[in-house]
Amino acid sequence: MKLFRYGQPGQEKPGILIDEIKYDISAFISNYDEAFFETDGLKRVADLVKQKPEGLVRLNGDVRLGSAVARPSKIVCVGLNYKDHAAEVGAALPKEPVIFIKSNSALNGPYDDIVIPQGSEKTDWETEFAMVIGKKASYLKEEQVKDYLAGYVLHNDVSERAFMFERNGTWDKGKGCDTFAPIGPYLVTTDEIPDTGNLHVWMSLNGKLMQNGTTADMIFNPFYLVAYITQFMTLYPGDVVSTGSPAGSGAGFKPPVFLKPGDLVECGIDGLGSQRQRVKAYTGV
């Protein structure tokens, strides 16, 4: 299944894509949030699809899409998880996953604007394969992980490099700015993507291809990452785990390339759809 949320920011309703047609299912499901996932919501949606009740309302194709999941308790990200990306930024391959938390206030729709923060000099992009947790998870083993997942999402891990590396402290400073976590367009259930090991990951800037990688280049595979993270924190239903980005981020170019107002960012991953964002300057509004 491919699930989405649509409507104005803060007022999104749940929907489902069936045969490339979008349907509203808010008469049956309130939201794709923690309560939905922990109460077997995916099965309820699957039953709806089989029954095709009258309450499935067909939507216009041009509705605004919000983040594919409602605000999760946390967005856990992995840094330097692709061999080619570590090489391009001159970093040693990590012996254990590098993890950080991205603020859930950074959540953004897949086609919403990216806003360059006040004082930013080095806003960058990172196209990432991410997973949505389906049930409470703690101290998992790698072979258990798939049973704990609700599905997969596309995530653009927008990053401000000067905030990350030149302003002291942790990476979180440059990761959690407003609009820095576009997620979607769809939450794709795990049955739709049986193999996550060789998915094409791409990103273009103003029509020029910048990232052109594959999940096969990951240092640590997605299921291992979830198991690893649960050794340090409990993951709750609806939480997002993002698995890092291949080479081609702006910081990796010589000279570096960073986002500026008016830029057009497009990115995608096999099976997860694509995103499209216009870059705007912070105006205080």
pLDDT recorded at residue 85: 87
* The pair of three-digit structure tokens given for residue 125, joined into one six-digit string: 């992009």
Q: Where are the alpha helices (DSSP H) in the chain?
A: 34-38, 41-51, 83-88, 161-165, 222-229
Element holding 133 (H helix, E strand): strand 127-133
Tokens of 232: 């340090």
Question: DSSP characters for 248-270?
Answer: --GGGSSS-----TT-EEEEEET
Residue entry with tokens 């870059």: 279
Position 272 in a domain: yes
> How distant is the alpha carbon of residue 136 from its chain centre?
19
Statement to judge: residues 52 and 174 lie in one domain: no
Total-model pTM: 0.96
Is 69 within a domain?
A: no
Instruction: Please tell me whether residues 198 and 171 are part of one structural domain.
Output: yes
Give the span between the Cα atoms of 268 and 212, in whole angstroms: 10
183 and 270 together in one domain: yes
Do 14 and 125 fall into the same domain?
no
User: Are residues 154 and 50 part of one domain?
Assistant: no
Q: Are residues 31 and 162 in the same domain?
A: no
Residue 66 resides in a domain: no
123, 125, 129, 134 alpha-carbon torsion, rounded to 10°: 30
Q: Do 95 and 34 reside in the same domain of the chain?
A: no
User: How many residues belong to the chain?
Assistant: 285
Query: 102 and 206: one domain?
Result: yes
Query: Considering 31, 58, 85, which residue would you say is the last residue of a domain?
Result: 58
Same domain? 50 vs 94: no
Domain count, the chain: 2
Residue 168 lies in a domain: yes
The answer to whether residue 132 sits within a structural domain is yes
Residue 68 counted as domain residue:
no
181 and 241 together in one domain: yes
175 and 53 in a common domain:
no
Which CATH number is 167's domain given? 3.90.850.10
* pLDDT given at position 285: 67
Tell me, what's the pLDDT at 170? 85
Residue-level pLDDT, tens digit, the chain, 285 residues: 999 999 999 999 999 999 999 999 999 999 999 999 999 999 999 999 888 777 789 998 789 999 999 999 999 999 999 998 888 888 888 999 999 999 999 999 999 999 999 999 999 999 999 999 999 999 999 999 999 999 999 999 999 999 999 998 889 999 999 999 999 999 999 999 999 999 999 999 999 999 999 999 999 999 999 999 999 999 999 999 999 999 999 999 999 999 999 999 999 999 999 999 999 999 986
Residue 212 included in any domain: yes
Q: What is the extent of the structural domain holding 51?
A: 2-58
63: in domain: no
Whether 187 and 231 map to the same domain: the answer is yes
